Amino acid sequence: MVISSAQEMGQQAAEQAANFGRKAGSKLARKAAGRMAKSIKKLVVTLIKKFLIAAVKFVVAIVGAEGIVFFLALLIFSAILMAIPFADWFLKGGERTQAEETADRQYEQQFRDLSAESVAAIDNEEASETWKATLKNIVIPSWAIPVSLVRYQISHSDEKITLPDPKEIFANLEPTFTYMTVTDDIEYTKTITSCYRVVQVRDSRGNVVKDSNGNPITTTVDDPPVKSVTSSKMPSRKILSKVEIPFGTTEIPSAKRYYPGGSYEPNDEWQLMGTSSVGRCTTTTYKRWEKTMVDDRGIPETGFDAEKFKEFLVSKGVKEQNLDEFFEYLKAADPDFPVELYAGEYQEGDSLYTNADYTYTGEIIDGWVWPIAIDYRGINSSFGPRWGKFHYGVDLGGRRWPNAPILAAKAGLVIWAGARGTYGNLVVIAHEDGLQTRYAHMSAITVKEGEQVKAGQQIGKQGSTGHVTGPHLHFEVAIPNKKNPMAPMSQAEKAFDPMIFLGPLQDK
Ligand SMILES: [Zn+2]
């Protein structure tokens, strides 16, 4: 645009010069005027070109080449944004018609319906309604996930978006149910048969008593009831044993229950099934049942792997650097969505997966147990030089196991239970053989100073207090400083690699 007007200006100047020549009248003068017009045109174009180059150089000097590139990119980006339909669909301030808003809600409703549908199988279990509702809440693929994926795709695509099929997005979110076959259900049947006899009434001398018509008077006498109990196997049945979601597994415990009543302890309750009479005998039938059922006495625990969830999002096209943005969509879509859990940033003291009354049932090798109650027996960071310092312990556990029980690695006396500098919440146990163990960064401590603890006894919960980058257990073993048992490890008489003691307990 600018260039072409420069040419126009040159053209104008040339025409003016030509007019001047025509006024002069002579052919020669016109020729001279023509040459003059050409050179004036050339001069004007050159001047304008020079001016433009100078102007561009000036702008580059002020805002820099990046500035110009940025400005152009901004222009292109706005053009693209305007080209995407629904770009402002989910974004605040988007103007939607009534009909479009209804369509939006219907689209979102499909996700809610699919969520509910995907956990409907839980309703088939014979368990308390509260338990079923709780389990559903644990394993339901939140509709907020697919809804947020759509929002993300819309705001990040530079192409016209076709809204994805909800079923397709759901394909990797639905829980899968595993069942076990129960074959040892027993049905007990008890029958009580009572018969009576008709006897003639006799007087004290043994003579039959007769009525006024001379007929013997009769009465009935009950025979002792005959009781029988039989048992039979019931048809095999399937009960829920495991629910897997892509980010964790929920094991469903089972237990024997006694019906009627459904108590977990054997009893002698029977259910009356009915009575039938044949002749002088009446039979009453009762039943009771012994069945293996899902154990609905507690809320099952679910291991949750936030990293796996993030991998899933990345596989769906969410860029790793945009995960925080995605979690914002989740919060906006569903205020009840447990974002912290899915993002791996649970709150300290979060009771969701706390195992408050933990009992150790694992192995004790030479008096030692693995000091964190998780099924993973590996180390995240070993004993030795690290980042220019010396790491006096091993790091165990991690964010996959929020609030996992921390256990006394060996029997001993608690000599410290509380916050201590970079250790955060710390427990220190003195052992009879002169060794000392330290457990750092806990979210909660469940023992007191002066308490004698057994190997495997819970002393606290894994956390991220003190100087940490994430939740884990920092575990140390040492012969402490004789004068000051609480002195830093660098002053201990000897700091050991804890794996010397935990090695035999480690995963092979
Ligand atoms: Zn550490």
Residues 273 and 263 in one domain: yes
AA letter at 162: T
Residues 197 and 312 in one domain: no
Q: What's the gap in Å between 474 CA and the centre of ligand 1? A: 4
pLDDT per residue as tens digits for the range 424-477 = 889 999 999 999 999 999 888 888 889 999 999 999 988 888 777 778 999 999
In this predicted structure, what is the pLDDT of residue 120?
Answer: 92
Range name among 53-62, 275-284, 416-425 with the lowest pLDDT average: 53-62
pLDDT at position 151 over 70: yes
Is residue 78 assigned to a domain? Answer: no
In this predicted structure, what is the pLDDT of residue 4?
Answer: 40
Q: What's the gap in Å between 390 CA and the centre of ligand 1? A: 10
Residues 247 and 125 in one domain: yes
Is residue 287 assigned to a domain? Answer: yes
Residues 340 and 489 in one domain: no
Residues 145 and 281 in one domain: no
CATH of the domain at 457: 2.70.70.10
Is residue 25 assigned to a domain? Answer: no
pLDDT per residue as tens digits for the range 496-505 = 999 999 999 9
Q: What's the gap in Å between 368 CA and the centre of ligand 1? A: 20
Interval 267-271 mean pLDDT: 91
pLDDT band at 159 (very low <50, low <70, confident <90, very high): very low
Q: Which of 173, 86, 103, 150 is nearest to 330 (CA)?
A: 150
Interval 7-34 mean pLDDT: 49
Is residue 42 assigned to a domain? Answer: no
Q: What's the gap in Å between 502 CA and the centre of ligand 1? A: 15
Are residues 495 and 438 in contact, defined by beta-carbon separation less than 8 angstroms?
no
Q: What's the gap in Å between 497 CA and the centre of ligand 1? A: 12
Is residue 23 assigned to a domain? Answer: no
Counting the structural domains of the chain, the total is 3
Report the mean per-residue pLDDT for the chain. Answer: 81
Residues 155 and 277 in one domain: no
Q: What's the gap in Å between 95 CA and the centre of ligand 1? A: 53
Select the more confidently predicted residue: 333 or 491: 491
Residue 265: other Cβ atoms inside 10 A = 8
DSSP state letter for 381: B
In this predicted structure, what is the pLDDT of residue 232?
Answer: 96
Residues 247 and 114 in one domain: yes
Residues 114, 116, 120, CA angle at the centre, nearest 5°? 115
Kindly list the distances between the CA atom of residue 179 and the CA atoms of 124, 128, 187, 247, 254, in Å, as whole numbers in the listed order. 12, 18, 22, 19, 11
pLDDT per residue as tens digits for the range 60-69 = 777 777 777 7
Q: What's the gap in Å between 478 CA and the centre of ligand 1? A: 14
Which secondary structure element, helix H or strand E, spans residue 459, and what is its range?
A: strand 458-461
Peptide bond preceding 504 in cis form (omega within 30 of 0): no
Select the more confidently predicted residue: 173 or 223: 223
In this predicted structure, what is the pLDDT of residue 88?
Answer: 47
Q: What's the gap in Å between 432 CA and the centre of ligand 1? A: 25
Count of residues in the chain? 508
Residues 112 and 134 in one domain: yes
Q: Which of 171, 433, 424, 188 is nearest to 289 (CA)?
A: 188
Residues 203 and 305 in one domain: no
In this predicted structure, what is the pLDDT of residue 1?
Answer: 35
Residues 390 and 481 in one domain: yes
Residues 124 and 261 in one domain: no
Q: What's the gap in Å between 363 CA and the centre of ligand 1? A: 25
Q: What's the gap in Å between 395 CA and the centre of ligand 1? A: 5
Kindly list the distances between the CA atom of residue 139 and the CA atoms of 88, 131, 247, 359, in Å, as whole numbers in the listed order. 32, 13, 10, 26
Range name among 148-157, 193-202, 255-264 with the lowest pLDDT average: 148-157
Alpha carbons within 13 angstroms on the beta-carbon side of residue 1 total 0
Pairing between β-strand 237-245 and β-strand 248-251 as defined by DSSP bridges: antiparallel
Q: What's the gap in Å between 433 CA and the centre of ligand 1? A: 24
Interval 131-145 mean pLDDT: 76
Is residue 59 assigned to a domain? Answer: no
pLDDT per residue as tens digits for the range 21-79 = 444 445 555 566 667 777 777 888 888 888 888 877 877 777 777 777 777 877 776 66
In this predicted structure, what is the pLDDT of residue 13?
Answer: 44
Q: Which of 450, 406, 409, 436 is nearest to 424 (CA)?
A: 406
Distance CA 158, CA 133 (A): 42
Is residue 299 assigned to a domain? Answer: yes
Q: Which residues form the domain of 221?
A: 186-233+254-293
Q: What's the gap in Å between 421 CA and the centre of ligand 1? A: 14
Residues 190 and 272 in one domain: yes
Q: What is the pTM assigned to this prediction?
A: 0.46
pLDDT per residue as tens digits for the range 113-134 = 888 888 999 999 988 776 787 6
Q: What's the gap in Å between 360 CA and the centre of ligand 1? A: 24
Is residue 73 assigned to a domain? Answer: no
Distance CA 199, CA 202 (A): 9
Range name among 37-46, 92-101, 172-181, 289-298 with the lowest pLDDT average: 92-101
Distance CA 117, CA 110 (A): 10
In this predicted structure, what is the pLDDT of residue 359?
Answer: 85
Are residues 193 and 281 in contact, defined by beta-carbon separation less than 8 angstroms?
yes
Q: What's the gap in Å between 381 CA and the centre of ligand 1? A: 7
Q: What's the gap in Å between 496 CA and the centre of ligand 1? A: 13
